[in-house]
Amino acid sequence: MRGTAALLAGLLLLAAVGCRARPHVVVGSKNFTEQLVLGELLAQAIENPGVKDPRPSAVTRRLDLGGTFLCHQALLRGQIDVYPEYTGTALTAIFKQAPISDPAAAWSAVREQYQRLGLAVSPPLGFDDTFAILVRPADAARWGLHAMSDLRQVAGRLRPGFGYEFMERQDGFAGWTRAYQLDFNAPPRVMDLGLLYTALAQGQVDLIAGNSTDGRIAALGLVQLRDDRHYFPAYQAFFAYRPSAAAALRPAFSRLAGRLDTRTMQAMNAAVDLGHRDPAEVARDFLHAP
Amino acid sequence: MGWLAYLIQHRGEALGLLGEHLLLVGVSTLLAATLGVPLGVWAVRSRRAQRWVLGAANVVQTIPSLALFGFLIPLPLLGGIGTTPAIVALLLYALLPIIRATHTGITGIDPAVREAADAMGMTPQQRLWQMELPLALPVIFSGLRVATVIAVGTATIAAAIGAGGFGSYIFRGLATVDNRLILAGAVPAALLALAADGGLGWVERRLGRR
């Protein structure tokens, strides 16, 4: 009896030591390319820490979760420990607050909101994923479209197409058309964002709101209009995480923070969307680059 | 019950979505029935046709709906965005249960009955219309019932190409982290599927009783 107890105690101790030696982190992400790449980047940075921290953690990947809603719920319930998010999305979609255009103010508001839920945020990753208003180059040349305010005269002739998120969000369609005084004749075609790029390139719609870091902008040769009235708020990318996983996550954060600018992210997204490469492979190349 | 309050508050819009949803399901399953039953009969007649028709319908069933929509966008006439390609996609998904039910219904007829029909000197045409189709009708109808219920569920994804329906609420809710909106789309769609199943089940029982 005593022997069994001792054995059990020993096993428990071993398990405890084992756990401490190899902390376990569950990395989540939403279901679009950039999130998959970011999820992989973080997972690999945790698995292969630099020379300073020789103790790698075990990682479970829960990538490709269906959207902001699912990721946030999973994080709150502890089903994932960390996932990539954007300041503008967190403020408006998760915390139901008014959008903030000043990046610094948006950042501190977001951090405070997460703290209230007992969650934490990583330092900004270095890029903004904001709405990009896109047109075909032929139309841009024909109507002389460079900035969003150029749309005012021709809006009536364009067939717009938008994703559900853009139509619903406080910082989306309604506010944008008001800020630029746009009057589209046709009601916007509302559909899945991923399919909108194809629809624009195929001439099914004439103007869409995509994501500024999407690799398809460059690949399909689409023209992005300048936000000359600074309407769209800041969408700085960061990781939202559970403080219980901080020890394993912090070294990885410091390896990634500030290293990802818009062009780097665009290039990685394009490598996946257009080069048909695996997000894991693209992430590996980035981490191993000098 | 926030979703119910939302639906009542936006009843005009919700009725519009219901109309779109019913249109998508109704048109696509009717077209699938007019195409699927002849295809099923053809599959009974020829072994080759059986392999190709059932094989193709099986393959279509495995294509994820978003991917199917992606393939349809560049197609002329039947493709693009909006209601037409959505109906095309739903039709393709509804074909398999109808073809299969027609095939099973006719091949499941007692061979003795078929021999009797032949002995009476029926032409293949007469045999089809006066014996095979009437006897297989309850089975064909149960296939139509399955196809309709599937279409009610799949039609929610038609909102991905701007075809409307209750899927619009689901997509909007997912995009804006709004549980209430997701339920405002999902619950009516589920109720619609149950109603379609119940209603067609009732018709099916009446057919079987004859």
Residue A23, pLDDT score? 73
Residue A81: name the closest of A121, A117, A37, A27 by CA. Answer: A27
Interface residues of A toward B, Cβ cutoff 8 Å, are 66-69, 72, 93-94, 161, 163-165, 167-169, 189-192, 194-195, 198-199, 202, 204-205
What distance separates the 2 farthest-apart alpha carbons in chain A?
A: 88
Residue A8, pLDDT score? 52
Distance CA A144, CA A141 (A): 5
Distance CA B182, CA A192 (A): 16
Of A94, A202, A204, the CB nearest to B177: A94
Of B66, B74, B172, the CB nearest to A168: B172
Distance CA B53, CA B69 (A): 22
In the predicted model, residues of chain B with pLDDT beneath 70 are 208-210
Residue A18, pLDDT score? 45
Strands (DSSP E) found in A201-268: 207-211, 223-224, 237-241
CB atoms closer than 10 angstroms to residue B109: 16
Residue A169, pLDDT score? 78
Distance from CA of B162 to the nearest CA of A (A): 4
Counting one residue from A and one from B, how many pairs have CB atoms under 8 Å apart? 74
Distance CA B181, CA B13 (A): 13
Of A165, A198, A204, the CB nearest to B175: A165
Angle between helices B83-107 and B11-45 (to 10 degrees): 40
Cα of first residue to Cα of last residue in chain B, in angstroms, is 44
Distance from CA of B83 to the nearest CA of A (A): 11
Of B82, B161, B177, the CB nearest to A192: B161
pLDDT tens track for A60-88: 999 988 778 889 999 999 999 999 999 98
Distance CA A177, CA A131 (A): 14
Provide, as residue numbers in chain A, all residues whose Cβ is less than 8 Å from the Cβ of B161.
191-192, 195
Residue A31, pLDDT score? 86
The number of residues in chain A equals 290
Residue B79, pLDDT score? 84
In the predicted model, residues of chain A with pLDDT beneath 70 are 1-22, 50-55, 290
Provide, as residue numbers in chain A, all residues whose Cβ is less than 8 Å from the Cβ of B71.
none
DSSP state of B160: G
Interface residues of B toward A, Cβ cutoff 8 Å, are 66, 69-70, 73-74, 80-82, 159-162, 168, 171-179, 182
Residue B141, pLDDT score? 93
Q: What is the mean pLDDT of chain B?
A: 92
The answer to whether the CB atoms of A66 and B70 lie below 8 A apart is no
Residue A100, pLDDT score? 85
Distance CA B191, CA B148 (A): 13
ipTM: 0.70
The answer to whether the CB atoms of A202 and B73 lie below 8 A apart is yes
Q: Which of A190, A206, A216, A273 to mutate to test the interface with B (most CBs of B within 10 A)?
A: A190
| All residues at 6 or more sequence positions from A158 whose CB lies less than 8 Å from its CB, including other chains | A135, A139, A151, A184, A206, A207
The pairing of strands A237-241 and A82-86 is: antiparallel
Using DSSP's 3-state secondary structure scheme, residue A147 falls into strand
